[in-house]
Structure 1
Amino acid sequence: MKWLPVCDQRFKLAEGPFWDHTHQALYWVDIAGFRALRLNEGKVCFWQFNEPVSAFIPTHAGDALVTLASGVYRLDLDSPSSQPALRLLCAADPVAGNRANEARCDRHGRLWLGTMQNNLDDQGGDLPLERRSGGLFRIDGQASVTPLLAGQGIVNTLLWPADGASVLTADTLDGVIYRYPIHADHSLGERQLWAAEHPRGAPDGSAMDAQGFVWNARWGGGCLIRFAPDGSVDRVIELPVGHPTSCVFGGPQMSTLFVTSARPAEGALELDGYVIQAQVGIEGMESHRFAG
């Protein structure tokens, strides 16, 4: 596979890619740079915040959600980059000192938000992780918040197999991906180990292809692992970045894979910190907008 940067900008912690199939646009964030970005028709636009932002997801109403450390906000996409117009949707996590991390919408347009202890200072510098205070929350189109899990380390990966009967989510501190059954009342059942630890890095964000296989970015592993629907390893896809953070399918045929990455302070590879893309020859599942 030939991996190329989507633009000439490099980031400290690019994350949360989202593909808008309708407008053929790519959304992502630089968590440590406090910035949300969109690539459309070869042009990169951005919105600058004063706190970490972990996800950037368009809505059916025409604006977008940004998950900031202080809460989930609606962003007016017509507002200027240096003065983004924000309106609070909800503050899902009541734990002081936490921040948003992984966030994806399910097929019903509900936002699932994973949180963690805030590990970034006011300038985006690293802080030590000292507690497992993260949670998982579900937010519907009317901004109603349902707590689902507590005591999480670093929530990453939020994917739903086609039958909608479960959710796959990783805890990067545990090094594994779990499966949680979804009950009829929408609560989560007892977790099951879905994908075990692997020597090629820790599980970060993921994308699902049309065959139900999961493409998982391996933090520190320099690769993606494609997991079969039963959680077994199907293949390892080598990358030109050492710290991939997440991925999403997109492009006109939904067969382009976009991969976000981080740039470490020392020992960075040439493409670390870029958002890269390649044709993978397999069709992926579309991203879902927020229903509100």
Structure 2
Amino acid sequence: MRIEALGCAPARLGECPVWCGRSQRLWWADVLAPALWSFDPKSGTIVAHAVTARRIGSLALRKAGGLLLACDDGLYGYDPETEEQHFLIDPEPGQPGHRKNDGRTDSAGNFWIGTLRETDYAPVGAIYRISPDLSITTFADGLAIPNALAFDPERQRLYFADTRAYTIWACEYDAETGHVGDRWIFTTTTAPARPDGSCIDAEGFLWNAEYAGGRLVRYSPDGRIDRTVDLPVSHPTCCCFGGENLDRLYVTSASEPLSAAQKEAEPLAGRVLVLDAGLRGRPEFLTAL
């Protein structure tokens, strides 16, 4: 399988690639820089956008236009054209040692966001659901690094992971009513590979980037490994489908944990990879926040 890389600077911790069908652009973040980037496949233009934050954990597309940024001190609306951002809400205020991590929008426009304590990654993080009226519901707590949030409305299913626990869980979820069922273990990974960011393709299969595992894994809805894709980077972080036909798979990666020798051996570490997986993805849900 041919794997290419975008011509952007290597990210310390690239994360949360999101394809915007309205602008036909790919968006992603460098959590630690922090930085917000966009890529226009038609022109080949890559742009670094100015944002104000200590960390950017994730981002989402807004129904009202623009983006939602999950920054360390809260969620912000962001206008890419003016580069203006305005505060919306912080689901976990008064926790200066914490930051926001993986986030995802469900089919009802709710935004889900995980938090973590980056000083020691103790199991004190949580996942919150923020509704369009800005009400907050705690979904899960006691997590070290919440990750892999993904929604399959056809099966009424929610996926999430704790990267430090090497586990991805699934549970029944009705986005319209807000009902969440009991969780079950969907799959586990083997050290050193840890489950990081996920996306779901048009067939309802879950794709997961294995941090420190150097590969993407496609899981069938019953948790079986359907296929794996070895990558030229050891620390992929997240993936999404994009392009005009949603048939391009974009993969972010990290360079931060690598030594100088490892970076020399992995020249694409921290870059955004692009590959053709031979199938299509689903449009990203838009948040009503």
Aligned to 1:70: 73
Aligned to 1:38: 38
The answer (yes or no) to whether the contact 2:147–2:163 under 8 Å persists in 1 is yes
Aligned to 2:283: 286
- Offset of 1:255 from its aligned partner? 1.0
Does 5-14 or 168-177 show the bigger shift?
5-14
The yes-or-no answer on 1:146 pairing with 2:145 is: no
Distance 2:114 2:8 in 1: 30
Distance 2:152 2:29 in 1: 25
Does 94-103 or 177-186 show the bigger shift?
177-186
Question: When the two structures are superposed, what TM-score results if normalisation uses the length of structure 2?
Answer: 0.91
1:138-170 deviation per Cα after TM superposition (whole angstroms, max 9, x unaligned): 112222222211111111111122335221101
1:21-45 deviation per Cα after TM superposition (whole angstroms, max 9, x unaligned): 2221101000011111111242222
Question: Which letter does structure 1 place at the counterpart of 2:149?
Answer: L
Moved over 3 A (4+): none
Distance 1:39 1:197 in 2: 32
Structure 1 gap ranges (5+) = 120-126
Distance 1:239 1:48 in 2: 30
Task: Give the % identical residues.
Answer: 30
Does 135-144 or 61-70 show the bigger shift?
135-144
The residue correspondences of 1:242-253 to structure 2 (distance < 5 A) are 242-253=234-245
The answer (yes or no) to whether the contact 1:70–1:91 under 8 Å persists in 2 is yes
Distance 1:87 1:247 in 2: 27
Q: Assess, with a 3 A threshold, how the Cα gap between structure 1 residues 95 and 133 changes in structure 2: closer, same or farther.
A: farther
Aligned to 1:169: 160
The residue correspondences of 1:7-18 to structure 2 (distance < 5 A) are 7-18=7-18
- Offset of 1:187 from its aligned partner? 4.3
CA RMSD of aligned residues (A): 1.7
Question: Which letter does structure 1 place at the counterpart of 2:74?
Answer: G
Question: Which letter does structure 2 place at the counterpart of 1:234?
Answer: D
Structure with the largest fraction of strand: 2
The answer (yes or no) to whether the contact 2:9–2:271 under 8 Å persists in 1 is yes
The answer (yes or no) to whether the contact 2:253–2:272 under 8 Å persists in 1 is yes
The residue correspondences of 1:57-206 to structure 2 (distance < 5 A) are 57-79=60-82, 84-94=83-93, 96=95, 97-117=97-117, 119=118, 127-129=119-121, 131-163=122-154, 165-182=156-173, 186-198=178-190, 201-206=193-198
The answer (yes or no) to whether the contact 1:200–1:222 under 8 Å persists in 2 is no
Distance 1:260 1:69 in 2: 20
Distance 2:120 2:137 in 1: 29
The answer (yes or no) to whether the contact 1:6–1:275 under 8 Å persists in 2 is yes
Aligned to 1:273: 270
Question: When the two structures are superposed, what TM-score results if normalisation uses the length of structure 1?
Answer: 0.90
The yes-or-no answer on 1:26 pairing with 2:21 is: no
SS in 1 for 2:164: coil
- Offset of 1:198 from its aligned partner? 3.3
Distance 2:19 2:272 in 1: 13
Question: Aligned to 1:233, which of 225, 237, 252?
Answer: 225
Number of residue equivalences: 279
Distance 2:222 2:102 in 1: 23
- Offset of 1:270 from its aligned partner? 1.0
1:52-100 deviation per Cα after TM superposition (whole angstroms, max 9, x unaligned): 0011222111221110000001112223xxxx42211110124612211
- Offset of 1:177 from its aligned partner? 0.4
The answer (yes or no) to whether the contact 2:236–2:251 under 8 Å persists in 1 is yes
Structure 2 gap ranges (5+) = none
SS in 2 for 1:173: helix
- Offset of 1:200 from its aligned partner? 6.5
